[in-house]
A and B are shown apart, each in its own frame.
Chain A
Amino acid sequence: MDLSEDILQYILSGLSTGAIYAVIGLGFAIIYNSTSIINFAQGEFVMLGGMLTLFFHVTLFLSLPFSIFLAVLVATAVGALFERLAISPLKNADPLILVIITIGGSILIRGIAMLLWGKDTYVLPMFSGDEPIVLWGATLMPQNFWIFGITLIIIVANRLFFHHSIIGKAMRACSFNRVASSLVGINVKHTVLFSFAISSALGAAAGIIIAPLTMTSYDVGIMLGLKGFCAAIIGGMSGGIGTVAGGLIVGVLESLGAGLISSGYKDAIAFIILLLILFLRPQGLFVKGDTERV
């Protein structure tokens, strides 16, 4: 293999993990837009997706599609429950308090997962075999195509939901103006609950499609969550195509960095991007700077 084939390989696998970050990032953005909260527990739903699918499929011998369905369902329920128990009672709290609560929720969920499944690392079977596909010299797994396909579906569905369904439009209205929304009869409480449910489902889905490639364990949520956040912040927390681009950028840079520089620093790359964005362009890469407040 020559260098250009290597690079193609890195880019393709980077796009694949980047797609996962994008989906996780969408979850961050959805909650942020309805509540101004950055949900530190977002990554745990990614972990739950993978671990629950594994549990239903491998431990309970359910079929893979049914296991996936149940895993998303349970993760969504956990997300909704978390919102009801910990977020909703603290509606007008100091952001500091909300940060602490979501961190608490995050490690609580992680701890329970550790209690249930131990500290071992598991592999979820590939959705459709492990026969590699060679593409211009780069090797891809069929699972990569599942990732691209499902991510695309999620992005389109997300767009349709927020721009064309009544609930989705109501949620967007809330993100612009809570008071006005409640005046025109939108139940703000419900939209917050919905946003937690939807982003938990998205996180779980992301965790499920990536688990066959990267393996999964109780603590994969931190890193995946943080990289998803990185995607969201590059996209300016918009939840739109910017987030998707953000995810792909992080995925590709990370993959190139790991391949060409050093695999040990792979995770550091995402965080350096994160810090640079936060320091230099906290409004995101694709948004024009708005009037600054001193």
Chain B
Amino acid sequence: MKQELLKFFLFTALIGIAPVFIGKGYLINVFVFVGIYTILAVALNLLLGLAGQISLGQAAFFGLGAYISGVLTATHAVNPWLSMVIAVVTVGIIAFILGFPILKLKGHYLAMATLGMGIIVYIIFNETVDITGGPSGLSGIPHLSLGGIIFNSDLKNYYLVWFFAVTIILLSVNLAASRIGRALRAIHDSEVAARIMGVNARLLKVQIFSISGVISALAGSLYAHTVTFISPTSFGFNVSIELLTMVIIGGLGSIYGSFLGAAILTLLPEFFRTFQDYDIIVYGLTLIVITMFMPGGLVRGVPLLFRSLFKKEPMPQSNEKRG
């Protein structure tokens, strides 16, 4: 417990002073995106890592959050903070309602259904041109402001986004270690045994799906107000896959791992310009290699790897069982 708290304070302190080293240049802007993707990856990890329920449609909630916030402020001049609340609540309700039929499905079928949901929403973004601006996007979304401070620079946005990201991380770590977290992990390992123990698996899965949607919508709203321009391509199928890859890299169930995954996949393209041309190859390879050889992701896998290198212990094989 104490250790968890220490870890969190160290992490927060690191995030807080990071801009000193990053400087005010282009890189700080990249770290704003690391923050947004961290929130998104943590949201997916709550669903996938804890409860073991896959979603290939996370980008839909991200996009809905961005578009609800964007359209309300840019077109209807609603206060940005209010629009953020409306976006988050609306997506939460949508996810909760959709969750009942969707989470009745398991494994492959669940993956297909969430994928289908993601694509339908993406098509709607493109086709409702009157509302969303269609493929050419929606511009003129205002920045957020708080007591005279307008979040219109990269540095200010950095602190804004990371304030939310760090909060989400803290809440998620707490949740994962709690009664609810245990119930979710129990569902992951054996749904039938969890139910015998009195866990209302059906409802809990829907709730965590909805929470995951809420957090993704929050990230979407932040994205809209920091970038001030949104278009459907930021919320397509590839984004859902990218998020999945981030979670797998960091490790299923590891909240800080999701930060690591988000950071790696967001920074890589900046350091390797050519990466953009090969990104999907990297995602594909990463998904396969990590899943096959390092099923706990980097956070659990790297220490194990070191131990096996130096102490000559054998690498443990994946002991996942068919469930």
Contact = CB atoms under 8 A, between A and B. Distances in A.
Interface stretch (B9-17, B23-31, B77-85, B116-124): B116-124
Contacts of A86: 288, 292
B123 A265 contact: yes
A34 B56 CA distance: 25
A75 to B, nearest CB: 17
Contacts of A98: 108
Contact of B292 (A101, A109, A271): A101
A89 B320 CA distance: 13
B280 interface: yes
Contact of A103 (B104, B113, B244): B244
Contacts of B52: 94, 96
Interface residues of A, number: 44
B255 interface: no
A100 interface: yes
B152 to A, nearest CB: 35
B309 interface: no
Interface string A68-99: 00000000000000000010011011111111
A100 B111 CA distance: 9
B287 A92 contact: no
A268 B123 contact: yes
A229 B111 CA distance: 12
Contact of B109 (A114, A262, A282): A282
A95 B281 contact: no
Given A96-B54, A115-B278, A278-B109, A107 B323 contact: no
A74 to B, nearest CB: 19
A104 B117 CA distance: 20
For chain B, the bracket of interface size reads: 35 or more
B286 A104 contact: yes
A240 B321 CA distance: 31
A112 interface: yes
A275 B295 CA distance: 30
A280 B280 CA distance: 34
A133 interface: no
B280 A111 contact: yes
Nearest to A41: B284
Given A94-B322, A97-B291, A108-B288, A275 B126 contact: no
A93 B320 contact: yes
Interface string B275-300: 00111111111111001100100000
A45 interface: no
B293 to A, nearest CB: 10
A110 B278 CA distance: 10
Interface string A189-225: 0000000000000000000000000000000001000
| Most chain B Cβ neighbours within 10 Å, of A104, A229, A271 | A104
Contacts of B111: 38, 40, 99, 103
A105 interface: yes
B105 to A, nearest CB: 6
Given A101-B292, A104-B288, A110 B280 contact: yes
Nearest to A294: B195
Contact of A226 (B119, B277, B295): B119
Contact of A107 (B102, B284, B318): B284
B106 interface: yes
Contacts of B113: 274-275, 278-279
B228 to A, nearest CB: 26
5 A-B pairs with the lowest CB-CB distances in the bound complex, closest first: A108-B284, A104-B287, A111-B281, A95-B107, A38-B108
Interface of A: 37-38, 40, 86, 89-90, 92-101, 103-112, 114-115, 222, 226, 229, 233, 262, 264-265, 267-268, 271-272, 274-275, 278-279, 282
Interface of B: 48, 52, 54, 56, 101-102, 104-109, 111-113, 115-117, 119-120, 123-124, 126-127, 237, 241, 244, 248, 277-288, 291-292, 295, 318, 320-323
11 contacts: A38-B108, A93-B318, A95-B322, A97-B318, A105-B284, A109-B284, A268-B120, A268-B124, A275-B101, A279-B101, A279-B113
Given A38-B109, A108-B287, 9 more contacts: A94-B321, A97-B320, A104-B291, A222-B237, A226-B116, A264-B123, A271-B117, A274-B113, A282-B105
